[in-house]
């Protein structure tokens, strides 16, 4: 057992995550993506980190390069996030029987690259524990002088998170030295700097480190940083969530990723302390956000300006910011809310975000990224191989690398299934196999591999709208006798015998969705979804705006390239017709329209082919 990943049961979590390897994905949707992550995404990101000086900055810090520091002051964090992702895929030592890594590719470069980075990072750390390649040499006097803008604590947080994934004793010692330095530097005691970071992240890391080490100073330090916000220590702007104290927030505001990381940290703090004011605040913020500010894809952050949340119902499509990092952060936050409450609404939000706003952030071939994820485009929004500000690519990488953890949790005497994919779980008291073609098909079969007495709690996604069915060994069961642990989970208790099987059926008919009429851009429009997937029309001919969708006509399902397309019926306005050189026409005759079948594709798959116009929200007559 690793000492870095002890089983720490957070006292105020109703659900406990599985230890790594507790669930092994072996499906046709996520597993190939994780294989691509190992074979394409991480290697190409490593190359980009080399080419952009991100790794060279560590060589300089460790004395093996005399290049000047390159790039943004927060570029170290990209290296740490990469290291976290790579470490999750390449655990340093095999763990018995539980299926450590994903894919199991031998001979790849990841272990050596991890080794290289580990060595460089350890060499870059200063004798006092300080670690940041941007504040060395001439810049050393500026250490900790502007933690609002200079991201030192943000980088430190990502270092600590990477360490806890890497499970390396020497790295852990380095992380505790850095954390000890931070604890000794910041606080409201005399001689310390009373401040809080401009970008939350260190709080999440410190609580993780507390869980790994048991050292309560790290928990206390995280609490200090959270409680110090909103008192003007860093300027009092909503951008940094410093406009009001955390517990006084009534809505998400400012920079979306910052706000979501703060909530994630506050949820972690609740899980350890049970401070009810934290959970009240988080619940209030979640409800406001998910009732007024979330895109249908799960994307958050409406505005390019300040990369920020907008007003209630301000959800523009073409100019949606919906940063990939905000989707990742929303998954972090919802996951923690789910662990605290076991409330399926958080699993619904997590699933929606994962399959749509987050997954759209990376190309199908795994080496191109979206920074922002709009819901409408004229084909000009294209993925890039990397960014100067490259927060999103490695953030997606570490999310995907950690994906198995989100499928299953435990609570006292129960096993909870939150997401569905083919795979196996191997818990001390419960071995079972899951077979399903989710998210393309809603049939899920759970086969018991070893006899046991276990209560299963199985999530029924909100999008099933009450149509889910279940049977045990072929016998239909009443679905909602009394959902004990909150709406959305059904409970099955049994003396399971090897070979017993549970069949879940979540019907996935294509469904049309409308938005609240206060979302101005979506008035008179509908979106299309199937199961957890949001669809879009991506086409130059006809342009999606030419369609008036007939929601009363059946929608056909068309398997294509490993996806399921949906064929819609629509009245289509021709692109020009008899207009010739007229730009405006008085007393227009009704446009001749033509009934036509138009294909919609999963939103996550758009912008992978030739540029074309895209719309999630389509015109209709309702």
Binding site for a copy of itself (CB under 8 A): 287, 290-292, 294, 296, 378, 463, 465, 511-521, 523-524, 526-527, 529, 543, 545-546, 548, 573-577, 579, 581-588, 590-591, 613, 619, 621-622
Q: Write down the least CB distance from residue 88 to a copy of itself, Å.
A: 33
Task: Answer for the pair 385, 368: CB distance below 8 angstroms, yes or no.
Answer: yes
Q: Indicate the residue among 93 and 587 with the shorter CB distance to a copy of itself.
A: 587
Task: Answer for the pair 110, 89: CB distance below 8 angstroms, yes or no.
Answer: yes
Q: Write down the least CB distance from residue 619 to a copy of itself, Å.
A: 6
Q: Write down the least CB distance from residue 372 to a copy of itself, Å.
A: 17
Task: Answer for the pair 457, 490: CB distance below 8 angstroms, yes or no.
Answer: yes
Q: Indicate the residue among 98 and 548 with the shorter CB distance to a copy of itself.
A: 548
Q: Indicate the residue among 90 and 522 with the shorter CB distance to a copy of itself.
A: 522
Task: Answer for the pair 226, 269: CB distance below 8 angstroms, yes or no.
Answer: yes
Q: Write down the least CB distance from residue 548 to a copy of itself, Å.
A: 7
Cis peptide before 439 (omega within 30 of 0): yes
Q: Write down the least CB distance from residue 587 to a copy of itself, Å.
A: 6
Q: Write down the least CB distance from residue 551 to a copy of itself, Å.
A: 8
Q: Indicate the residue among 583 and 610 with the shorter CB distance to a copy of itself.
A: 583
Q: Write down the least CB distance from residue 462 to a copy of itself, Å.
A: 9
- Taking CA atoms, 361 is separated from 33, 324, 372, 387, 408, in Å, by 13, 6, 8, 13, 24
Q: Write down the least CB distance from residue 527 to a copy of itself, Å.
A: 8
Q: Indicate the residue among 463 and 606 with the shorter CB distance to a copy of itself.
A: 463
**Which contacts of 213-222 are long-range, i.e. CB under 8 A and separated by 24 or more positions?**
213/172, 213/176, 215/176, 217/180, 217/183, 218/179, 218/183, 219/269, 219/272, 219/273, 220/183, 221/179, 221/182, 221/183, 221/186, 221/187, 222/265, 222/268, 222/269
Task: Answer for the pair 566, 599: CB distance below 8 angstroms, yes or no.
Answer: yes
Q: Which burial class, exposed, middle or buried, applies to 296 when counting CB atoms under 10 A from its CB (0-12, 13-18, 19+)?
A: buried
* CA–CA distance, 70 with 77 (Å, rounded to integer): 13
Q: Write down the least CB distance from residue 554 to a copy of itself, Å.
A: 14
Q: Indicate the residue among 388 and 552 with the shorter CB distance to a copy of itself.
A: 552
Q: Indicate the residue among 89 and 527 with the shorter CB distance to a copy of itself.
A: 527
Q: Indicate the residue among 64 and 291 with the shorter CB distance to a copy of itself.
A: 291
Pull the structure tokens for residue 440: 């393309």
Q: Indicate the residue among 492 and 548 with the shorter CB distance to a copy of itself.
A: 548
Task: Answer for the pair 45, 82: CB distance below 8 angstroms, yes or no.
Answer: yes
Nearest residue to 296 (alpha-carbon basis) of 568, 547, 603? 603
Which H helix or E strand runs over 326?
helix 324-341
Pull the structure tokens for residue 264: 């994630």
């Amino acid at each position: 057992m690793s000492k870095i990943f002890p089983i720490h049961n957070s006292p105020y979590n109703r659900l406990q995550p599985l230890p790594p390897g507790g669930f092994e994905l072996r499906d046709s949707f996520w597993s190939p993506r994780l294989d691509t992550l190992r074979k394409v995404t991480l290697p190409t990101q490593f190359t980009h980190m080399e080419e952009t000086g991100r790794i060279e900055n560590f060589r300089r810090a460790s004395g093996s390069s005399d290049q000047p520091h390159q790039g943004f002051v927060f570029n170290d964090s990209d290296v740490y996030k990469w290291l976290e992702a790579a470490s999750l895929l390449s655990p340093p030592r095999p763990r018995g029987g539980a299926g450590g890594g994903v894919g199991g590719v031998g001979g790849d470069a990841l272990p050596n690259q991890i080794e290289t980075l580990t060595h460089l990072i350890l060499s870059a750390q200063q004798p006092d524990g300080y670690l940041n390649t941007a504040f060395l040499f001439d810049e050393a006097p500026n250490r900790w002088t502007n933690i609002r803008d200079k991201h030192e604590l943000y980088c430190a947080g990502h270092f600590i998170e990477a360490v806890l994934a890497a499970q390396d004793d020497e790295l852990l010692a380095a992380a505790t030295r850095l954390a000890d330095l931070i604890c000794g530097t910041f606080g409201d005691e005399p001689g310390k700097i009373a401040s809080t970071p401009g970008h939350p992240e260190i709080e999440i890391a410190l609580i993780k480190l507390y869980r790994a080490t048991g050292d309560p100073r790290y928990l206390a330090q995280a609490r200090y940083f959270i409680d110090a916000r909103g008192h003007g220590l860093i300027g009092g702007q909503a951008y940094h969530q410093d406009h009001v104290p955390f517990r006084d927030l009534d809505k998400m505001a400012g920079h979306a990723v910052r706000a979501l990381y703060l909530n994630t940290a506050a949820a972690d703090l609740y899980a350890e302390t049970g401070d009810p004011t934290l959970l009240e605040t988080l619940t209030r913020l979640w409800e406001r956000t998910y009732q007024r500010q979330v895109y249908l894809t799960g994307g958050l952050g409406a505005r390019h300006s300040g990369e920020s949340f907008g007003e209630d119902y301000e959800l523009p499509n073409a100019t949606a910011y919906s940063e990939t990092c905000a989707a990742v952060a929303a998954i972090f936050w919802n996951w923690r809310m789910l662990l605290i409450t076991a409330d399926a609404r958080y699993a619904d939000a997590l699933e929606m975000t994962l399959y749509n706003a987050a997954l759209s952030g990376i190309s199908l071939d795994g080496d191109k990224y979206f920074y922002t994820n709009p819901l409408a485009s004229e084909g000009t929004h294209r993925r890039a191989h990397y960014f100067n500000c490259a927060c999103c690519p490695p953030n997606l990488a570490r999310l995907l690398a950690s994906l198995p953890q989100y499928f299953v949790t435990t609570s006292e005497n129960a096993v909870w299934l939150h997401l569905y994919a083919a795979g196996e779980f191997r818990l001390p008291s419960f071995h079972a196999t899951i077979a399903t073609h989710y998210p393309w098909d809603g049939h899920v079969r759970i086969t018991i591999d070893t006899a046991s007495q276990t209560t299963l709690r199985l999530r029924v996604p909100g999008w099933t709208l009450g149509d889910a069915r279940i049977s045990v060994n072929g016998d239909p069961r009443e679905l909602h006798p009394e959902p004990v642990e909150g709406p959305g989970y059904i409970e099955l208790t049994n003396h399971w015998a090897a070979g017993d099987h549970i069949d879940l059926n979540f019907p996935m008919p294509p469904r049309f969705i409308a938005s609240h009429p206060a979302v101005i851009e979506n008035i008179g429009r509908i979106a299309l979804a199937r199961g957890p997937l949001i669809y879009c029309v991506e086409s130059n001919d006809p342009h999606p705006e030419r369609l008036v969708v007939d929601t009363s006509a059946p929608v056909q399902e068309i398997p294509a390239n490993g996806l399921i397309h949906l064929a819609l019926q629509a009245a289509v306005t021709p692109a020009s017709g008899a207009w010739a050189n007229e730009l405006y026409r008085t007393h227009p005759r009704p446009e001749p329209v033509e009934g036509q079948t138009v294909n919609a594709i999963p939103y996550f798959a758009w912008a992978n082919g030739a540029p074309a116009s895209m719309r999630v929200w389509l015109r209709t007559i309702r």
